Structure 1
Amino acid sequence: MNKLAENYFGKHIYIKKSWYTHHGIGVGDGKVIHYAGYLGDWEAGPVSVVSLEEFSEGMEIYIRDDDARTYDPMEAVKRAFSRIGEDGYSLWGNNCEHFVEWCISGKHESTQVQKVGFGLLSSAVLLVFAAVASYWYLDTPLDEELPKRRSDN
């Protein structure tokens, strides 16, 4: 077993997939608890215990810095075990990262979801700005001179 296996108990671990990260909490003995999420057939899976190999799918496993943790590793693992079998996965509101963050800090949050939400909000603001600018530009008759800038005076 690699060095990770010796140091991952109660830690927030993750793998990098093509466009997202998948999260779990190390529970020792070569095992991880994770929210299975969408499996091969795109059906949501429950919180379950799997091997490190199954969790990693052959990819490198990373340990997330957990400076903001509220619960020590033993308590975090107990919290993870308390949710085994839960089957309420939601990509936006109850995913694998939400689960692990709750286990170690008591906070139900996902930085991935926050980043996507911020990106969508930023895109929406840009679209509104573009729409207003287009309306103003298109509403100006072609034979009418555009307002001059102060530096043009």
Structure 2
Amino acid sequence: MEGTSHTIVAIDKEDLKPGDHIYAYRVWGLYSHHGIYVGDGQVIHFSNTQQALDEIANENPDSLIVEELDENPKSEPCEICGYIVGGSPGMGVVKSCIEHFATTYQLYQYNVSLIKFWFMPNGTCCPYQSKPLEEAVQTAYAKLRTGFGNYNLLTNNCEHFATFCRTGRKFSGQVIPTRLPAGVKPEEVPIEDLEKIAAGEDI
């Protein structure tokens, strides 16, 4: 399925494989949130810590969630997944039930051509070759333990995290339009510079 379809790929929970990169739209489709499915109905994902808590609280008001994060994180576990906060306080890598992640989600695509990449919506695919799925799961769990640095919407976001787990390289198509100089079109920028922009680096 990956690398062949030119449309957004929706997927059911029953069809997910450990290591799949999934995403879900937030705020009426203005941006997408990304994570790595690790099996047993759970997803490892990365976001601003308070943002993660707010999203889970808003979407699952009856769930027991992390109530507060400070120097000594205090949490009450989800009755199903235990809601694990990974890394040091403020790192923002978490593991949760897929129901906490989203109720509807799509499958992110890898190894797409540059032509396809430009025609697809931002934040749905990546031109890089993916590692084996089991390696993506291992990387996601490693970052759950150690963190992924400080969350930054433009330079270190959830798509950066998920693509790093799958390829070993940070990539976020969502940030390209925002980080380009004013008046510059993506097709006018050398591919090497676009890769830096997508990775959250300066050019």
Question: Normalising by the residue count of structure 2, what TM-score does the alignment of the two structures yield?
Answer: 0.52
What amino acid maps onto 1:100 in structure 2? A
Partner SS state of residue 15, structure 1: strand
| Aligned partners of 1:12 and 1:66 also within 8 Å | no
| Higher Rg | 1
What amino acid maps onto 2:42 in structure 1? K
1:115 aligns with 2:177: yes
Q: Which residue of 1 aligns with 2:108?
A: 64
Partner SS state of residue 143, structure 2: coil
| Aligned partners of 1:8 and 1:63 also within 8 Å | no
Q: Which residue of 1 aligns with 2:33?
A: 22
Residue by residue over 1:67-120, the C-alpha shift from the partner in whole angstroms, topping out at 9 and shown as x without a partner, is 3333100001101111115152111111100000101111112111112223x6
| Aligned partners of 1:5 and 1:28 also within 8 Å | no
What amino acid maps onto 2:25 in structure 1? K
Q: Which residue of 2 aligns with 1:74?
A: 134
1:91 aligns with 2:135: no
Partner SS state of residue 103, structure 1: helix
Question: Normalising by the residue count of structure 1, what TM-score does the alignment of the two structures yield?
Answer: 0.68
The runs of 5 or more residues in structure 2 that have no matched partner are: 1-10, 56-68, 70-89, 112-127, 185-203
Q: Which residue of 1 aligns with 2:17?
A: 8
Partner SS state of residue 19, structure 2: coil
How many residues align? The count is: 118
Q: Which residue of 1 aligns with 2:95?
A: 49
| Aligned partners of 1:15 and 1:23 also within 8 Å | yes
What amino acid maps onto 1:73 in structure 2? L
**d(CA) in 2 for partners of 1:121, 1:80:** 35
Give the superposition deviation at 1:65. Answer: 1.3
Seq. identity, %: 31
**d(CA) in 2 for partners of 1:45, 1:78:** 18
**d(CA) in 1 for partners of 2:154, 2:39:** 29
**d(CA) in 2 for partners of 1:3, 1:117:** 33
- Kindly report the root-mean-square deviation, in angstroms, between the aligned alpha carbons of the 2 structures: 2.3
**d(CA) in 2 for partners of 1:109, 1:13:** 14
Q: Which residue of 2 aligns with 1:106?
A: 168
Partner SS state of residue 10, structure 1: coil
Partner SS state of residue 92, structure 2: strand
The runs of 5 or more residues in structure 1 that have no matched partner are: 124-153
